């Protein structure tokens, strides 16, 4: 397991203008990130990214201790939100580079709505698009320490067992998404990840 050393420059901000949407993903307004996550949360646009270096090995991250919602929980490779005026394509590639220091062609699999509360601190209420991407074995990953506490490549079968044995270790959205990837989209994963051209940065 690879831990991450602290660094000062943030890439996430409480006043980021997030895109509020209806259940059909039509824009209905904007709210700061902190306001969008207060109480039961306001439905907003989001994305989750899963990076693989083959169809059966996935990169997971442990969220940083200072994250307001689900700190230190294990989750997918990267997740965030498009900002006001930002397309999904621009937002996903921006965040992948900011958070993990890596680039990849991304494939959108599906979109779903979920709501989950983290005690009385706040909630996620997201219309979340799920993407997968392929990176070369040995690609240099340089996670942002304000976002990522630790990270590791895992065999998918080991993730299955870990999730079954210790579901409380994972974020709620990861559990929903992993179930879909391992059932509904398993054949699609093998197809797209085998054909995906890749690029990766050195940090």
Side-chain half-sphere of 75: how many Cα atoms within 13 Å?
A: 21
Q: Which of 126, 128, 147, 177 is catalytic?
A: 126
Integer Cα distance of 180 and 185 in angstroms = 6
Q: Is 156 annotated as catalytic?
A: no
Instruction: Give 50's Cβ-side CA count (13 Å radius).
Output: 34
Residue 126 annotated to the active site = yes
Selecting among 16, 79, 124, 177, the annotated active-site residue is 79
Residues involved in catalysis: 79, 126
């Amino acid at each position: 397991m690879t831990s991450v050393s602290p660094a000062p420059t943030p890439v996430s901000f409480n006043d980021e203008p997030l895109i509020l949407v209806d259940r059909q993903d039509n824009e209905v307004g904007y709210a700061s990130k902190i306001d969008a996550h207060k109480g039961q949360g306001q439905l907003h646009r989001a994305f989750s990214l899963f990076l693989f270096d083959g169809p059966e090995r996935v990169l997971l991250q442990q969220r940083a201790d200072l994250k307001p919602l689900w700190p230190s929980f294990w989750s997918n490779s990267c997740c965030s939100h498009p900002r006001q005026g930002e397309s999904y394509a621009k937002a996903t590639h921006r965040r992948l580079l900011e958070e993990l220091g890596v680039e990849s062609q991304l494939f959108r699999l599906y979109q779903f709505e979920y709501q989950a509360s983290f005690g009385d601190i706040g909630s996620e209420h997201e219309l979340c698009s799920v993407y997968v991407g392929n990176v070369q074995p040995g690609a240099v990953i340089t996670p942002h320490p304000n976002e990522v506490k630790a990270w590791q490549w895992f065999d998918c079968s080991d993730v299955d067992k870990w999730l079954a044995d210790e579901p409380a270790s994972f974020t709620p959205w990861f559990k929903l998404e992993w179930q879909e990837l391992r059932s509904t989209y398993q054949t699609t994963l093998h197809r797209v990840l085998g054909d995906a051209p890749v690029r990766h940065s050195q940090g």
